[in-house]
């Protein structure tokens, strides 16, 4: 199972929201690049970065933070939030993103999304399918569309998409457990996709349950920052077996479990 820690950014800081509510923001760390380096040192290969300022503003805001992360680490970074135009997606790739997550454009400007799919290829795009009440939510979860989840996925899977990130918004940031029934229904309908589950993960047991349900990948964040998951134990149980990238001269030594480190399990 692919384990993908998340870094959400507001004002250049590492934060988490509850159910996508910007009024329910907790700041965890001042340096997202430092957090990313700690994840890499523990053995993670992937990283999910969300520009929450960008999602709200409808254009990329924190590209400099993305650049700082990709310059400091060799993580495979997928980036989302505020990707609305050709200039936005080009800026994300120029800043070092290996993949971009796109949701709102797929709902509101399907022709543009299809052009990106043709230009960049399915391996560099992740279809964002964030769900609230069975409908796809857009623009930083500030609006709900009329799109139902499965027909939305079908349209783009038929066009060649394989990477799908699905967040159950009612679960996100709540530590209430993932929406396993939702993800299982998606995998039953589309068994060949790489589904990335997101929202609600609170402990290693939740990740075990997703793995047992056949979910290929999971994004999780708040459980890390709240100290509810021992990341070294998690990596030991679910080794990330992609070839390790060459060590960067900027990469730090693996952090000791001090208070404030993402590896702290206090």
* DSSP per residue, 19-87: TTEEEEEEEEES-HHHHHHHHHHHT--EEEEEEHHHHHHTS---HHHHHHHHHH---EEEEESS--SHH
3-state secondary structure of 110: helix
Catalytic residue (choose from 51, 53, 88, 130): 130
Catalytic residue (choose from 8, 53, 88, 172): 8
> In whole angstroms, what is the distance from residue 60 CA to residue 120 CA?
18
Strand partners for 18: 21
**Cα 220–Cα 87–Cα 153 angle in degrees, nearest 5:** 50
Quick check: is 181 catalytic? no
> In whole angstroms, what is the distance from residue 56 CA to residue 40 CA?
28
Quick check: is 130 catalytic? yes
**Tokens found for residue 20:** 């996508």
Residues annotated as catalytic (active site), given as ranges: 8, 130
């Amino acid at each position: 199972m692919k384990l993908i820690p998340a870094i959400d950014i507001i004002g250049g800081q590492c934060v988490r929201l509850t159910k996508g509510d910007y009024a329910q923001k907790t700041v965890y760390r001042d340096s997202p690049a430092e957090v990313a380096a700690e994840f890499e040192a523990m053995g993670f290969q992937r990283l999910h970065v969300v520009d929450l300022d960008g999602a709200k503003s409808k254009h990329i805001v924190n590209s400099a933070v993305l650049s700082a992360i990709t310059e400091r680490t060799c993580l495979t970074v997928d980036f989302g939030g505020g990707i609305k135009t050709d200039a936005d997606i080009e800026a994300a790739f120029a800043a070092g993103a290996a993949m971009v997550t796109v949701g709102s454009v797929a709902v509101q400007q399907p022709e543009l999304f299809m052009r990106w799919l043709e230009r960049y290829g399915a391996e560099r795009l992740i279809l964002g399918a964030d769900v609230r009440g069975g409908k796809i939510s857009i623009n930083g979860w500030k609006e709900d569309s009329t799109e139902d989840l499965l027909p939305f996925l079908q349209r783009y899977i038929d066009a060649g998409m394989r990477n799908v990130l699905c967040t159950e918004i009612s679960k996100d940031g709540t530590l209430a457990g993932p929406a396993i029934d939702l993800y299982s229904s998606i995998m039953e309908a589309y068994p060949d996709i790489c589904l990335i589950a997101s929202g609600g993960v609170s402990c290693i047991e939740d990740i075990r349950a997703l793995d047992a349900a056949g979910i290929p990948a999971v994004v999780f964040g708040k459980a890390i920052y709240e100290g509810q998951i021992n990341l070294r134990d998690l990596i030991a149980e679910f080794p990330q077996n992609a070839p390790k990238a060459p060590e960067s001269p900027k990469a730090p030594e693996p952090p000791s479990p001090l208070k404030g480190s993402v590896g702290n399990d206090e």
